[in-house]
Amino acid sequence: MKIELISVGSELVCGQIRDLNAPFAASKLTELGFNIVNHTIASDNSEELKFSLQTASERADLIIITGGLGPTQDDITRKAVADFCNVPLVSDEKSINHVENLIGNIHSKKYVNCLRQAMIPEGSIVIHNTTGTAQGFLVNFAQTNIICLPGVHTEMVQMFENWVIPYILRESGESRKRYTRVINTFGMSESLLDEKVQRIIKPDNYLSYSTLVNNGIVSIRITLCDTDEIKAGSMLDNIEEEICIELGVFVFSKREETLETIISKIFIENALTLAVAESCTGGLVSNLLTNVQGS
Structural domain harbouring 148: 2-172
Range of lowest pLDDT (135-144, 190-199, 273-282)? 273-282
Burial of 273: CB neighbours in 10 Å, binned 0-12, 13-18, 19+? exposed
DSSP strand pairing (217-226 vs 125-127): unpaired
78 and 24 co-located in one domain: yes
The rounded distance, in Å, linking the Cα atoms of 10 and 295 is: 46
How many domains does the chain contain in total? 3
9 and 115 co-located in one domain: yes
For residue range 56-85, what is the model confidence (pLDDT) as tens digits? 999 999 999 999 998 888 899 999 999 999
Q: Which of 121, 145, 172 is the last residue of a domain?
A: 172
Mean pLDDT value across the chain: 88
166 and 243 co-located in one domain: no
210 and 265 co-located in one domain: no
211 and 113 co-located in one domain: no
Q: The domain that contains 26 carries what CATH number?
A: 3.40.980.10
The rounded distance, in Å, linking the Cα atoms of 207 and 213 is: 21
130 and 251 co-located in one domain: no
Q: Which of 138, 153, 172 is the last residue of a domain?
A: 172
